Amino acid sequence: MSTARSTRTTEGRMFTVTGGDWDDFVDGLRDETIESDERIIVNMGPQHPSTHGVLRLILEIEGETVVQARSVIGYLHTGIEKSCEFRTFTQGVTFVTRADYLSPAFNEAAYCMAIEKLLDIEVPRRAQHIRVLLMELTRITSHLVALATGGMELGALTGMTAGFREREEGLHLMEFLTGLRMNMAFIRPGGVAQELPDGWEQKVTSFIEVMRSRLPDYDKLLTGQPVWKGRLVGVGVLPLEGCMQLGITGPILRSAGLAWDLRKTMPYSAYEEYDFDVPVADEADCYARFRLRLAEIWESLKIMEQAVVKLAEPGPVMVTDKKIGWPAQLSIGSDGMGNSLEYIKKIMGESMESLIHHFKLVTEGFHVPAGQAYVGIESPRGELGCHIVSDGGTRPFRVHLRDPGFVNLQSMPAMSEGSMIADVVAAVASIDPVMGGVDR
């Protein structure tokens, strides 16, 4: 039972909805199981090192066996979607990039593609390939975190240190390309914020070489290791029919034998021009998901290598419509967000009209035709969708992210019930939820 009360604010009528308390729910479970001394309720989280952040698991156990498992979310809710309604469409990029904070480039891309769909504009070819380069780099760094944290939670501490070591290589490259390691807000409606810096080809090529030299170490360290296989093989099994019923996508779905990858099945951002494979397995267990993420890193390196070749051709990185595209021909500021001092001097010295236009573009934003659009892309965790509703103004009427981590978390009880507590840790690690995206 829930109740709602309303208050008047400067933004209009606002509702506050309240519902039941999880503690009451847990107490009710204890009342139901009080007759049996064998069954107890265990709280795992929300500050547990093996719950990938602030995720709370309520486990009903008999001995070491999990009889029932429930996930409790919301501890990292930051109102990202709602905040977008009070900013211009371009400013909204800085909010959505912080949702799934391990794959910011994907949040930015899905959001901007939905806006571009409403505007009915074509993003320049060079900007499309820059987006591909950034997304595949982000896929690699995200998968490395999944491998590293999964290794840490299962006791393979060397795997953890190796994973974060390689991730640092990726974040250093991201900082060089965009100005920031994470939450870059580099992908903007109409293209990207700026041209890639001088020397980017050599930096990207060096990163690819380093990764290709180090990835085989993961096979030596983990893939064939009997203890690692003992913890993962046959654990957290979720067959294809279970994935389909729960709406599961990403590595979990592909580990069950279905080669569903939106980059191939519904290509976007010029992915149809790239040659890469979609790794699949049929064991549908934690070990298969580990191997798939490792294989996907190899494929992302192939895509990045092709992107370097395609980006050899010069071209604009932002739409030419001055009513939409933020200036992208000059460098942005040292904070990675604002305009550089050189650009400010240039635009203030050109004409009063150009200064007024820039001021209105930044503060008011551009108008987006009324309507709604949905765009789905393949993030490291599965299908990431962005649904935007516009009322014809300069701010979104509604923004909603279909975060794959949120949907995939539904599979946790199916993977865990009937197994040991230690296997719950392996199952959650193989799902790879990022609570910033789950809670938003």
pLDDT at residue number 112: 94
What is the distance, to the nearest Å, from the Cα of residue 410 to the centroid of all Cα atoms in its chain?
Answer: 17
What's phi and psi for 336, nearest 5 deg?
Answer: 80, 0
pLDDT at residue number 416: 87
pLDDT at residue number 358: 75
CA dist., res. 90 & res. 189, Å (int) = 6
Predicted structure pTM score:
0.86
Rounded mean pLDDT of 242-264?
91
DSSP 220-261: IIIIT-HHHHHHHTTSS---HHHHHHHT--THHHHTTT----
What are the boundaries of each domain within the chain?
80-325+366-439
Rounded mean pLDDT of 279-302?
92
CA dist., res. 183 & res. 96, Å (int) = 9
CA dist., res. 206 & res. 184, Å (int) = 22
Strands (E), 136-199: 187-188, 191-192
pLDDT at 135 over 90: yes
Rounded mean pLDDT of 161-175?
92
pLDDT at residue number 5: 61
Q: Which residue has tokens 């107890």?
A: 40
Rounded mean pLDDT of 34-63?
76
Look over the chain and give the mean of its residue pLDDT values, rounded to a whole number.
Answer: 85
The number of beta carbons lying within 10 Å of the beta carbon of residue 195 is 19
Q: Which residue has tokens 């909603």?
A: 400
Of the ranges 60-69, 254-263, 265-274, which one carries the lowest mean pLDDT score?
60-69
Residue-wise pLDDT for 339-387, tens only, equals: 667 766 776 676 677 777 777 888 888 899 999 999 999 999 999 999 9
Of the ranges 36-45, 69-78, 287-296, which one carries the lowest mean pLDDT score?
36-45
Residue-wise pLDDT for 78-125, tens only, equals: 899 999 999 999 999 999 999 989 999 999 999 999 999 999 999 999
pLDDT at residue number 334: 59
Residues 100/434, Cβ–Cβ less than 8 Å: yes
Query: Could you give the C-alpha distances from 36 to 42, 65, 416, in angstroms and in order?
Result: 15, 15, 22
pLDDT at residue number 13: 59
pLDDT at residue number 391: 92
Rounded mean pLDDT of 291-319?
92
pLDDT at 213 over 70: yes
Pick the CATH number of 80-325+366-439 from 1.10.645.10, 3.90.79.10, 3.40.50.1820, 1.20.1250.20: 1.10.645.10
Residue-wise pLDDT for 316-332, tens only, equals: 888 888 788 776 555 55
